[in-house]
Structure 1
Amino acid sequence: MALLINEECIACDACRDECPTTAIEEGDPIYFIDPDRCTECVGVYDEPSCIAVCPVECIVPDKDNVETIAELQYKYKSILAEEE
């Protein structure tokens, strides 16, 4: 399942640099996560790095984008292949 940044976001920029798939982008007024690029850090970290660094805990599961671990792994491998 992709993650979602809710309205609690303070646009502190802590999460953006942590994302290994560059899924987090600056929005107006809050940041947002591209569900097509979010892998919940599967393939890179044991848990989502953006959640770990968020000072206001505004990053939550996106119930509209439910994916299995296998699907997230496939997405991560596809993103890596695009960057080569």
Structure 2
Amino acid sequence: MSFEMGILLTSIVAFIIGAAAIVLGDKRRRNAPTQNRGSNPGQGHHLMHANYSPGNDTTESRTWHAPRDPQSYAKFFAPSKMDRKK
């Protein structure tokens, strides 16, 4: 096989891979959810619940009442003190 034939074959394969990536990317974008994640800001609280099972027949559970207001939410999850190492 000559050098030119190798370049042509490599170019064709790269074109096919690029075209497939564009087609699949467009398909994923069209099938993406039309709804934003999360919830609208407002008054009141969200009930957040998390379960954790480390695998030794125990289950850890934790529940939070997180505020719906974005500013209050940020304050709720921000650490009150930062450990700044010098």
The TM-score normalised by the length of structure 1 is 0.21
- Based on CA coordinates, which of the two structures has the bigger radius of gyration? 2
Larger strand share, 1 or 2: 2
Question: TM-score, normalized by length of structure 2?
Answer: 0.20
